[in-house]
Amino acid sequence: MSREIEKYCPAGHSSEDIAYSNCKNFINSDGNCSLCTKERFIQEFKTWSSGNVNIDKVIQEFQINYICDKFHWIPYNDFQNINYIADGGHEFMYSAKLKNGIKLHWNFIRQNWGYHLIGRKVALKEIKDSRYDIVEFLKMVKTINDFGFIAKFYGISKNPSTQNYIIVMESFDYNLHYFLAKKFWNLRWKSKINILASIASGLRILHGKDLVHCDLNSGNILNPNESGAISVIGLDLCKFENDLILNSNNSNNNKSNKIYGSIPYIPPEVLRGNKFTWEGDIYSFGGVMYEIVTAQRPFADQAHDTYLMIDICNGVRPKVPDFMLNWIPEWYLNLMYRCWSDDPSERPTTDEIVNLFWDVSEKLVLGIVNNDVMRQLKIANENQRHTSKSQKQEFFELFSYSSKLHPQSCYFSRSIHTLHGLHDLLEEIKSGQSSVLRGNKFTWEGDIYSFGGVMYEIVTAQRPFADQAHDTYLMIDICNGVRPKVPDFMLNWIPEWYLNLMYRCWSDDPSERPTTDEIVNLFWDVSEKLVLGIVNNDVMRQLKIANENQRHTSKSQKQEFFELFSYSSKLHPQSCYFSRSIHTLHGLHDLLEEIKSGQSSDPNLLY
């Protein structure tokens, strides 16, 4: 049945009226009118709220000013089949289905809404980091939500249990890293070039809208395929260039103490504390180029810590295995290393990269080999196709090894102290403004401190600091007096004397910690009285009350415990409970002193 274009709707709107940003009103015989839809959205503004006036305002602007790709407030009860996927650092990732879909247009004949995406699988990002600026993120989404090569966002919701906001977006089956792990050996240069051209095109769109991605890596390049037809870029940390300049200018010495991202993809100037720029995105793109030709993520065999940051700032870059070099055109390697240049001004632009890759892609389709770029590519393809048995064996051994990541590597975005920020902290240590300890020997009193950690786990079922990265910054926190926290709802299950003893074990002054004799005598005395049923002092009375409190725990407290236990069983990916070699803060300070004094090849590291 044909849909005839109408001149007027029953409300009196004309097809000559302007509906959205110089777009004329669209009216057809099925009951669709752009202005009726716009007016209905406005009427319903008072029927919903996100709980945040600024978020409401951004959503309303979407619905008033955009004819397509509108953004919506989506009630949490509209999600079905919610499944936990992963902890992404500042958010929990889930998949779900939209039960009722999303409002598309108001039908003036039926006087009801037409919906789309009914039953559609979507991705949910539940923001758990209070520092994440959702309003700024939504303003960014407004500028690019109708472009190709960029992930689509449908709306925002809120988890009624946690009160965390949820960003609802397009769902994808896999990312570039997963795709390469499955398809690398059969992937030819045509596919690789098309994937890279798509990624670079997405970056060019962002840069053209005055945006900086700030977190480009193989984990947020979504849905590539063997034809390389399209790769979509996720936008978790994307920011306006002007906002980054403003934030930088408002900080002391134009330096940042903290950044967010994955260390192998962060450019050296940002690791030093400078702002993230378009040129920084190009550095990150170099890491993607590396993985596409090696099937390895950058620095997969190393701890992603302060020492890797220092190495990167001193010019260390991921190495392409020797046996792979004849599979890769020389111009490709040169471009990749230009992306990784320590000098941002020497990195290629998105225009240069996009033009090169789409030109190569077109010539591959047409079979044109008319310059060095195409000749090198043809030879590289033939070399990989005729790989010897020993080279294939070497590759599979390397691939098998590289799939076993270093336990302290980290490829999701997280909060990281820049070297500038770390230097400020260590200067406080040196000047005595901080109480941080610097590499003293382990003593009997040190064993008692460790015993306090065991006491904590016995009464909470959680290991100490399970939700945090076990890195230099946790060391600094501990030395400044931070200790694991017992959840409030558990406090009446634990005798006060037990808590006091545990915190005495954790005393910053080793001389104030209890001795093994004191601990042994106390616990065996309590054990004997428990067996005999003797309650003759405060220790035993508190223990009896704690037992009764736990036995009569309310349903809501039990639910709170099970939720906490379920969450705490998901360890922070940068937590580590096996013994390993650790640099003391004293050693770290000495290393940074060498850099500051000029003994390092990177004299700008600490400015």
Domain presence at residue 9: no
- Give SS3 for 455: helix
Percentage of the chain exceeding pLDDT 70: 82
CA angle 301, 306, 308 (to 5 degrees): 35
Average pLDDT, rounded, for the chain: 83
Residue 247 shares a structural domain with residue 211: yes
Residue 325 has what pLDDT? 92
In this model, does residue 205 exceed pLDDT 50? Answer: yes
- Counting the structural domains of the chain, the total is 3
Residue 401 has what pLDDT? 57
Residue 250 has what pLDDT? 45
Residue 262 shares a structural domain with residue 369: yes
In this model, does residue 335 exceed pLDDT 60? Answer: yes
Residue 305 has what pLDDT? 84
Domain presence at residue 2: no
The confidence band for 404, taking pLDDT boundaries of 50, 70 and 90, is low
In this model, does residue 539 exceed pLDDT 90? Answer: yes
Residue 397 shares a structural domain with residue 519: no
Q: For residues 212-230, b (16+ Cβ closer than 10 Å) or e, as one string?
A: bbbbbbbbbbbbbeeebeb
Residue 97 shares a structural domain with residue 116: yes
What's the CATH code of the domain at 563? 1.10.510
Size (the chain), residues:
607
Residue 301 shares a structural domain with residue 374: yes
Q: What Å distances lie between residue 532 and 121, 379, 498, 524, 546, CA to CA?
A: 60, 84, 20, 12, 18
Residue 447 shares a structural domain with residue 359: no
Please tell me the distance from the alpha carbon of residue 448 to that of residue 515, in angstroms, as a whole number.
7
When mean pLDDT is compared across 150-164, 248-262, 322-336, the lowest value belongs to 248-262
Please tell me the distance from the alpha carbon of residue 218 to that of residue 181, in angstroms, as a whole number.
11
Residue 432 has what pLDDT? 46
Residue 298 has what pLDDT? 95
Residue 596 has what pLDDT? 44
Which residues of 120-257 form beta strands (DSSP E)?
A: 121-127, 153-158, 165-170, 211-212, 221-222, 232-233, 239-240
When mean pLDDT is compared across 112-116, 148-152, 302-306, 403-407, the lowest value belongs to 403-407
CA angle 387, 388, 390 (to 5 degrees): 125
Domain presence at residue 431: no
Residue 314 shares a structural domain with residue 342: yes
Parent domain of 278: 179-417
Contact 29, 4 (CB under 8 A): yes
Residue 347 shares a structural domain with residue 203: yes
Residue 343 shares a structural domain with residue 231: yes
Identify the residue with better confidence: 193 or 147. Answer: 193
Residue 243 shares a structural domain with residue 386: yes
Residue 565 has what pLDDT? 61
Identify the residue with better confidence: 254 or 486. Answer: 486
Contact 168, 153 (CB under 8 A): yes
Torsion angles phi and psi, residue 26, rounded to 5:
-105, 125
Residue 460 shares a structural domain with residue 574: yes
In this model, does residue 438 exceed pLDDT 50? Answer: no
Q: What is the CA radius of gyration of the chain?
A: 29
Q: Could you identify the residue written with the tokens 């395929």?
A: 225
Domain presence at residue 280: yes
Residue 222 shares a structural domain with residue 99: no
Beta bridge partners of 261: 414
In this model, does residue 264 exceed pLDDT 80? Answer: yes
What's the CATH code of the domain at 268? 1.10.510.10
In this model, does residue 232 exceed pLDDT 60? Answer: no
pLDDT tens per residue across span 56-68: 999 998 888 876 7
Domain presence at residue 460: yes
Domain presence at residue 89: yes
Single out the residue of 443, 425, 515, 431 nearest to residue 479, CA to CA: 425
Q: What Å distances lie between residue 299 and 191, 305, 314, 322, 409, CA to CA?
A: 24, 11, 15, 16, 8
